[in-house]
Structure 1
């Protein structure tokens, strides 16, 4: 399974997952022309994209959804997200735990299974994408990681994981108190430490690939995020580049 983070952060998010036969996008949070440009630069033909999956309706995850209209690409999301985007008539509704299967009887089959996350949006989702040669879990904005979320993501070969902020940087930073409370809420964003704890429960040391995303430019640093995850996994006897790989975006 090829996974590429084309954009991430508060300015826009877009991830592609491909098994060499089917290519899907999770989120299109940049203007449609930028989405098109980035994909072409990364060697992805927009006309070959099978479907787009939207985690929730916040602009940094769906701003470029008109890209789907230009190329007639189906858009999948929860009912709440599609309603917020005024796309109930044209989008395809998906629900927690209900897999969508593509090319089921082909060696290049793909199953996409949505799971609920905890964010201040209408029915936000994460996605677990299972192919014949691996499983990719994409978890964008969430304030907590629940046991149900852990079960949905279990046994993935690739984890695209929110690692938004360092709590000390956030609390001592310039954000106003209301915004700090929103970020720290259970429906806010995942801290480095919370992401590290969740990953310590998921990573088994079988060579999994961890991709840390959606990092705040004001309240985090790549080194802090990576260090938090490595510390948590080290407690389980796991070392980076031996038992797993870690990338920070």
Structure 2
């Protein structure tokens, strides 16, 4: 069983803790080190029990707290492209997420198997992850402008989906953001809209009691109730009802 604790979510910072009987791993560390330490302790995790930090991409709201790694001697995994944007992690802690024949290699740690997959974001080499302990599978898909067939295949069969529902396009277009920023958010290398997230989940959720965590909501271009209702309405089309066939939480 993998316990999910979302320690931070949104443009202010992102950090997810996944805990098994044997170990804890973090996906991203995008808030200050002291905040991560505090939030870990609040959910009953000691920082020195973290085995590894897996970085999705090197934007500040995903890597700000990486000094945590040096303090507690935690391995940090990132792709070759994303290491270009990361500094300050001690050399001996830097681990490369590698490809073999164009496919990301599986990472085996004590108690968990981590499988990276490609995402689409305006970073060097962004990725998402699936994490399994052999019984439970968790998918983490944060910043991406679209969800393709390869991503769906990687995430299929998960028990928990941690996925961004960043914005409502009409709210972005009506915002005071410069047109260049609006275009970036709405692009295939920007962020997922509520509808895109709902469409992906409609393909993924089977009604086996899966848990959906909607994350990385824009504070200016989305509303929690809007994100939740868009997903629920999409899943109703497949006969899936929240609370009966799956659980949903907006973070």
TM-score > 0.5 by shorter chain: yes
Q: TM-score, normalised by structure 1?
A: 0.95
Per-residue CA deviation, residues 141-171 of structure 1 (Å, 9 max, x unaligned), is 0000010000010100000001000111111
Per-residue CA deviation, residues 31-52 of structure 1 (Å, 9 max, x unaligned), is 1111111111221100111100
Q: How does 1:107-146 map to 2 (within 5 A)?
A: 109-146=111-148
- Number of equivalences: 244
Q: Distance in 2 between matches of 1:65 and 1:232?
A: 37
SS at match of 1:195: helix
Structure 1 outlier segments of 4+, above 6 Å: none
Q: Quick check: 1:94 aligned with 2:97?
A: yes
Q: Quick check: 1:219 aligned with 2:221?
A: yes
Per-residue CA deviation, residues 83-122 of structure 1 (Å, 9 max, x unaligned), is 221459441111353111123xxxxx31000001000001
Q: Distance in 2 between matches of 1:123 and 1:180?
A: 22
Aligned to 1:76: 77
Q: Distance in 2 between matches of 1:175 and 1:194?
A: 21
Q: How does 1:1-249 map to 2 (within 5 A)?
A: 1-86=2-87, 89-90=91-92, 91-95=94-98, 96-103=103-110, 109-249=111-251
SS at match of 1:84: coil
Aligned to 1:106: none
Q: TM-score, normalised by structure 2?
A: 0.95
CA RMSD in angstroms comes to: 1.2
Q: Distance in 1 between matches of 2:119 and 2:178?
A: 25
